[in-house]
């Protein structure tokens, strides 16, 4: 597609449930990033995939968070046993190998844990 | 903690005025980027300036970079109501590495 697509756009879940967030990057973009943004705050880095290299998972806040990228394209961010503090907008971005034009962001998934 | 910190946190101006916001960072970088965010959703890339560049223009936007002071500024000239948004700076330590974002500046342009 023309842009980065994220689904769902909104997700309300009960505390303790697992959720999966999906990101479809721009075709041909080798790099894919997940960020989290709490209300009125900046972006918090979560995880970064670059081609066939091992992902940089240094931003994942706990072992309840995991992500995978299948076939170098679609990525899924999974949060297990959700907590209220997980409520945030989860943003995905992709870029070409050398992002001369910067990253392209999706519209995000707003996760609310009740 | 954030690599980049924007100043001010919020800015309110009249349409037609210029808006200036600053970004400071802590470590050496390969490039610095500015993004705009409307309504708390996806970010839009505005401009990228490399560590060996000092100034860059794009339309009504002017970005400067001072690597000796580890700071950058974004100037929006002749602001419009549509410029109302949050603006974030982000730094990349090495080419192709992850971006580290600051906390953003919320800009309100009053018609």
List of E strands, chain A: 5-7, 10-13, 19-24, 31-37, 43-50, 65-69, 75-79, 88-95, 104-105, 109-113
Question: Once rounded to an integer, what is the mean pLDDT over residues A81-108?
Answer: 88
Instruction: Say how many CB pairs under 8 Å bridge A and B.
Output: 60
Beta bridge partners of B11: B107
Maximum Cα interatomic distance, chain A, rounded to a whole number of Å: 41
* Chain A nearest CA to B101, separation (Å): 6
Average pLDDT over every residue of B10-28 = 95
Categorize the per-residue pLDDT at A74 as very low, low, confident or very high, splitting at 50, 70 and 90.
Answer: very high
Cβ of B99 within 8 Å of Cβ of A50? The answer is: no
Query: How do residues B68-104 score in pLDDT, each as one tens digit?
Result: 999 999 999 999 999 999 999 999 988 767 889 988 9
A102, B95: Cβ pair inside 8 Å? no
Concatenated DSSP letters for A10-33? EEEE-TT--EEEEEE--TT--EEE
Band of the pLDDT at B1, cuts 50, 70, 90? very low
A98:B35 CB<8 A: no
Q: Looking at the partner chain, which of A33, A97, A101 has a beta carbon nearest the beta carbon of B98?
A: A33
Task: Give the residue on A whose Cα is nearest the Cα of B87.
Answer: A42
Please state whether beta strands B31-37 and B85-92 pair in parallel, antiparallel, or not at all (unpaired): antiparallel
Please report the pLDDT score of residue A53 as a whole number: 86
- Read off the pLDDT of residues A41-51 as tens digits, 9 standing for 90 and up: 889 999 999 88
């Amino acid at each position: 597609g023309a842009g980065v697509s994220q689904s769902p756009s909104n997700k309300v879940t009960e505390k303790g449930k697992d959720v999966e967030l999906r990101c479809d990057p721009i075709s041909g973009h080798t790099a894919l990033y997940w960020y989290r943004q709490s209300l009125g705050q900046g972006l918090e880095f979560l995880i970064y995939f670059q081609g066939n290299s091992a992902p940089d998972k240094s931003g994942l806040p706990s072992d309840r968070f995991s992500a995978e990228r299948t076939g170098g394209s679609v990525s899924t961010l999974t949060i297990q046993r959700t907590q209220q503090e997980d409520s945030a907008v989860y943003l995905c971005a992709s870029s070409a190998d050398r992002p001369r034009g910067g990253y392209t962001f999706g519209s995000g998934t707003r996760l609310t844990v009740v | 903690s954030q690599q980049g910190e924007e100043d001010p946190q919020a800015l309110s101006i009249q349409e037609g005025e210029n808006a200036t916001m600053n970004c400071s960072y802590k470590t050496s970088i390969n490039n610095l980027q500015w993004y705009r965010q409307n309504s708390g959703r996806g970010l839009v890339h505005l401009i990228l300036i490399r560590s060996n560049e000092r100034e860059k223009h794009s339309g009504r936007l002017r970005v400067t970079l001072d690597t000796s002071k580890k700071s950058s500024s974004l100037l929006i000239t002749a602001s419009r109501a549509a410029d109302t948004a949050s603006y974030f700076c982000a730094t990349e330590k090495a080419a192709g590495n992850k971006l580290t974002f600051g906390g953003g500046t919320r800009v309100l342009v009053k018609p």
